[in-house]
Amino acid sequence: MEWGMKNRLSQLIQRDGRALFLPIDHGYFQGPTYRLEEPGKTVEPLLPYADAIMLTRGVLRACIDPTKSKPIILRVSGGTSMVGEDLSHEGITTSVKEAIRLNASAVSASIFVGSRYEHETLINLANLVNECEEYGIPVMAVTAVGREMEKREARYLALCCRIAAELGARVVKTYYCKDGFDKVVRGCPVPVVIAGGPKVDSELEVFEFVYDGIQKGAIGVNLGRNIWQHDYPVAMIKALRAIIHENATPREALDVFSQAKNTGKR
């Protein structure tokens, strides 16, 4: 692995081998998502606790202070919306030159395995890897499921992750599943980070699936809505950071959350 690639990956994955990525790219297909209507204001108090942020070039340029930023994972796929016919019909929307101009530490693109546009999204990923490798830029593959959340089971996720790694992704973002997640991670020869999915009902539920996923081999999370849609987002990200970087248990993380909630700002 060349110096540039090693350097960029080291910005994302910390010395302990763990990572807390904060995605705020949801607007690229959802529009002004609840509590992400003003991305700059949403993310500002969370930045000290994130290892990297994932977002589009538009939000990066318009909303993020370049003097206070964290490493950037630049979302470069898109072209669909929640009101369109098929979320899987994505293309590459941002060039590698743009990623270099914006000083991105990595780029990300979605793949939709088993969908109508499986082939197109896999070729998107392969071509993106081909170009990014020339410049030492890591590609993170996102194993998307569109509206079909029932696909989040181990056999399907293992298939997606392995294909993404085979095509050259340096990191894979995928969903957690309670049964068989260790097999998902074991079958993927590159680091796996856990996607958040829909906002869940309790803080402890989030802490439990993150903790379990890490115990089963994930290096960390790429978690958005369960942080910034929470009434106490700073407390949530502090607690998650304790699990990821301090090996806290879910109950210990809940204590961190409660203390931060009672003493800190929202």
- 97 assigned to active site: no
The tokens of 23 are what?
């995605």
Given 6, 41, 70, 173, the catalytic residue: 173
Alpha-carbon span 235 to 247, nearest angstrom = 17
243, 211 contact by CB (below 8 A): yes
Q: For tokens 């992750």, name the residue.
A: 161
- What sign results for the dihedral spanned by CA atoms 56, 57, 59, 65? positive
Nearest to 241 by CA among 40, 70, 60: 70
Alpha-carbon span 162 to 191, nearest angstrom = 11
Any alpha helices (H) in the chain, and if so which ranges? Answer: 3-12, 27-30, 39-43, 57-63, 96-101, 118-135, 154-166, 181-186, 203-215, 225-228, 233-246, 250-263
Taking residue 218's Cβ as centre, other Cβ atoms within 10 Å add up to 26
Q: For tokens 């399907």, name the residue.
A: 156
Active site residues: 173
